[in-house]
Chains A and B, each alone.
Chain A
Amino acid sequence: MMSADTMLKRAAPVLACIGLLAVWQLASLALHNDSFPTAIEAIRAIPSILSDKDSLVNFGASLRRMAVGFGVAVAVSIPLGLSMGRSRAVASFFNPLLMVIYPVPKAALMPIIMLWLGVGDIAKTLVIFLGVSLPVIYHSFEGAKAVEEKMLWSGAAMGLTAAQRLIRIVLPAALPEILTGCRTGLVLALITMITSEMIARQSGAGNILFNALDMGQYDTVFAMIIIVGAMGICLDALFERIRARLVRWSEPQFDIPLSFS
């Protein structure tokens, strides 16, 4: 049996969505701008996009590239980040290079990568890979750095080899921080996915969105914004579920408000 309080908590994000859509509706009614359709008009345009076979193929292509880029990035970045966190030499070897790469917008590499690899899947997946890997490396690095030394010493005293210590002690201890990085990486994957498709307009969700913008189909533009937004929210919620399962033991108690007023 759910109490009224938890039910309200579950419903809160839905209420927030409805509230935001209502604000949008009122704003567009007040502005009377041809290029700013109302929320209801935009929602009405969604079914025709989702029932179109071409656009479904496009969404599939986008999600496939994102999944591949994200998966490879996580698989490469976590070991790299962890070993950077545990070894000073590795850290000082890679740190400056990563700091130089970090502020470069990965999607801006798209025009250059396109020259070498063409406009196909490889170029876009590579860009997504680059976008995701940096936050994951950074957070794994921070997480591994903060592992309690005593646990490692006890592990070593009990005869674990360095590799075993990395997997059995450092990885679980750094997991909450790693997952924070993966969550940032997920949002970045979506962003780079959209922008890479906007630059190399060949297929994908970003392609539909920006082509509609150029052709002045404003209800499609806003409908696509809703769809992409929903995608982001669903992926994030899904990830949050997985994360909650994996790191149940380290739930931070953030929900207690400070009392002094």
Chain B
Amino acid sequence: MNARAVTSDLLLGLIPIALVVAVWQALVSFGYAPVTLLPPPGQVFARMIQQLLTDTFRQEIAATLFRLFAGFSIAVILGVGIGLAAAVNPAFNAVVRPIVRVLAPLPKVALYPALLLLVGFGHESKIALVTADALFPILLSTYYGASTVEQKLIWSAMAAGTPPREILFKVVLPAAAPSILTGCRIGLVISCIVVFLAEMITSTDGLGHVLVTAARTFQAVDMFVPLITISLLGLILNGLLEAVRSYLLRGFPEA
């Protein structure tokens, strides 16, 4: 793809976003929606910039990010570990498989009250919820990725005298990397969503808490600010993950 096609794609993609903002502005300026319910976009973005410059709002973002990263990292470590182990060890697989089948479709938000009662209202319950939700997509895609590794690759490595433990890290893990990273991407988006929800349910800080406080006092402008912030955070994190992905997969034919 040449640079010109990329820019024209980008321009085409900006149209619907611009349209959404335009319709939003039109709804307000032609009086279809009262300003108290739907503040004009300019006001929302101005408020957002103003908020981003304050220390308190930045602390809220930091709290959200901390929980997001903690939960997501635990989920990646557990998911990749369990997924790989299940793919290479039939006995472990026989135990883990039914448990995963039962736990994966369970709506984890319903577990949140239990987590609250067990580990309290602090960081721990939110991190645990993020981990619980992000874990399964990562685990499943690691498992699928690792169990579809071409057997011939493993045989060649064995014929070359590689010990089993090294085969795991030198053959299976790299071969499963594209699938694992796809799982991580889904897990990351889910983490963004879940951390926000957890903060909305019970919290004293974080972006979700900002939204709830604004909703209780009917401050429509302040309700939009955290939503746009989490959307931007998601975009930035997704971009970072994409960069990590293209670095890790630089040897693969189509990354």
Contacts and interface: CB of A to CB of B under 8 A. Distances in A.
Interface of A: 12-13, 15-17, 19-20, 33, 35-36, 88-89, 92-97, 99-109, 111-112, 115-116, 184, 186-187, 190-191, 194-195, 198-199, 209-210, 213, 218, 221-222, 224-225, 228-229, 232-233, 235-236, 252, 254, 256-261
B224 A99 contact: no
B88 A260 contact: yes
Contacts of B111: 225
B211 A12 contact: no
Contacts of A108: 196-197, 200, 208, 211, 226-227, 230
Interface string B218-241: 101001101100110111011000
A258 B147 contact: yes
Given A13-B102, A103-B234, A229-B110, A258 B149 contact: yes
A105 B201 CA distance: 13
Contact of A195 (B109, B149, B230): B109
A224 B110 contact: yes
Contacts of A254: 143-144, 147-148
Q: Which secondary structure dominates where chain A touches chain B?
A: helix
B103 to A, nearest CB: 8
B114 A198 contact: no
B3 interface: no
Contact of B227 (A97, A109, A221): A109
Q: Which secondary structure dominates where chain B touches chain A?
A: helix
Contacts of B193: 103-106
Interface string B134-169: 000000000110111101001001100000100100
A194 B234 contact: no
Given A115-B37, A257-B93, A209 B87 contact: no
Nearest to B218: A115
A199 B148 CA distance: 42
B10 to A, nearest CB: 8
A138 B77 CA distance: 26
Contacts of A191: 107-109
Give the size range of B's interface with the partner: 35 or more
26 contacts: A12-B97, A12-B98, A13-B102, A16-B99, A33-B117, A93-B15, A97-B20, A99-B238, A102-B234, A105-B230, A106-B193, A112-B215, A112-B227, A115-B220, A187-B105, A187-B107, A221-B113, A229-B107, A232-B105, A233-B102, A233-B106, A254-B148, A257-B87, A257-B90, A259-B151, A260-B158
Contacts of A190: 107
Interface in B1-59: 9-10, 12-17, 20, 33, 37-38
A258 B93 CA distance: 11
Given A103-B189, A105-B230, A258-B88, 12 more contacts: A16-B99, A33-B117, A97-B13, A108-B196, A108-B226, A115-B37, A115-B218, A190-B107, A195-B197, A198-B109, A258-B151, A261-B89
